Structure 1
Amino acid sequence: MTRYRFFTATSLDGFLADEHESLDWLLSQPTDAEQSILPYDVFVQDVGAIVTGRATYDWVVGHLETVADAWVYDQPTFVFSHRELPEDFTGITRVSGPPAAHRARLEEVAGDKDVWIVGGGDLAFSFAEAGMLDEVFVSIAPVTLGSGKPLMGGRLDLELRELGRNGALLEARFAVTGARS
């Protein structure tokens, strides 16, 4: 059965990105994959499809080495956006509307693997509201931002399943037990 997983990082005060949509605060944190309770390389092997919001997509595209770079993920990627995408990468599909409208297609593409919700917090919450978010895995950086893009776009009930450390980051794996409006 396909699992929907939000694998992300946040500041201690709950922001995915700062008010300028920068991740510099995260990229400067020391990490050690040997310490991680879920190393990225292990996680991504179980991913069959990726979903992302438009702001996250634009951030990734804006940080590619050159315009000719290929999309950064090998898995088919679905970008939730009401606007056309300015870049045309192989394996990218723009979709719009609620996640439930795309469930069958996402699960068909993912096959026997997981769907990774890359970002952002509003999109992850819309998946939770649709009953399509099983797990939240978050790395918490020892920095506060004061404002920015919030970790989650609404209230969720979670159950802590695992806790660990990756360099300077605190890691926590949660099962989603319910979304609240």
Structure 2
Amino acid sequence: MKTTFYTATTIDGFIADEKDGLDWLLTQPQDEGGPMSYDDFIKDVGAIVMGRTTYEWVRDHIEREGESWYYDMPAWVLTHADLPGIEGADVRFARGDVREVHAQMAEAAGGKDLWVVGGGDLAAQFAAAGLLDELVLSIAPVTLGAGRPLFTQPFDLRLVEHGVNGAFLCARYEVVGAR
């Protein structure tokens, strides 16, 4: 079992714009069967975790588009706010130390991998606790100049794989440790 922060970023290191928008990402061409594709990644995932902003974006997006919850595995949302759930989704709200959440996720995942969906601060908390094994990035040919950063703390990474998928430069990094 490994814990991965699988995400997209701009060349200048932002995972969302200043208004938490993802228009820069959703307009980029990508090969669903290409290197480091979402379909290849998600098949090995047994539990996910996200922060409040990511959860609210997903919830708002599926409500606006009339879609269903995207995930068929348990999902944890780390938040201090009281948020509404999503009908038919296994969403569990938590607060506190990511170590406790990681242990609950690992148990629920039944030996499958764990995915830190977002955001960058949450992924950095998992990394700081020594619980983030890898970072898989799809790097878009876009700059934003400001927004939500990829990571909020300094870490050393080791490149273990790279490729091109549509407009994205894809890279898999092992999380070495805090800088």
TM-score range, shorter chain: over 0.9
Q: Which residue of 2 aligns with 1:44?
A: 42
1:24 paired with 2:42, answer no
User: Per the alignment, do residues 46 and 17 of structure 1 end up closer, same or farther by CA in structure 2, a change over 3 Å counting?
Assistant: same
1:25-77 alpha-carbon deviations (Å, 9 max, x no partner) = 1100011234x322211110100000000000000111114597532211110
Write the letter of the residue equivalent to 1:44. Answer: I
Instruction: Provide the C-alpha distance between the structure 1 equivalents of 2:22 and 2:50, rounded to a whole number of angstroms.
Output: 16
Normalised by the length of structure 1, the TM-score is 0.93
Any idea what SS the aligned residue of 2:99 has? helix
Instruction: Provide the C-alpha distance between the structure 1 equivalents of 2:176 and 2:48, rounded to a whole number of angstroms.
Output: 22
Q: Which residue of 2 aligns with 1:103?
A: 102
Structure 1 residue runs of 4 or more that deviate by more than 4 Å after TM superposition: 65-69
The two structures, once aligned, show a CA RMSD in angstroms of 1.4
User: Per the alignment, do residues 51 and 141 of structure 1 end up closer, same or farther by CA in structure 2, a change over 3 Å counting?
Assistant: same
Any idea what SS the aligned residue of 1:123 has? helix
1:13 paired with 2:6, answer no
Write the letter of the residue equivalent to 2:28. Answer: Q
Q: Which stretches in structure 1 are left out of the alignment for 5+ residues?
A: none
Q: Which stretches in structure 2 are left out of the alignment for 5+ residues?
A: none
Q: Which residue of 2 aligns with 1:172?
A: 171
Q: Percent identity?
A: 51
State the number of aligned residues.
178
Aligned pairs for 1:11-160 (under 5 A) are 11-34=10-33, 36-66=34-64, 69-89=67-87, 90-160=89-159
Any idea what SS the aligned residue of 1:9 has? strand
Write the letter of the residue equivalent to 1:23. Answer: L
Any idea what SS the aligned residue of 2:29 has? coil
Instruction: Provide the C-alpha distance between the structure 2 equivalents of 1:66 and 1:23, rounded to a whole number of angstroms.
Output: 15
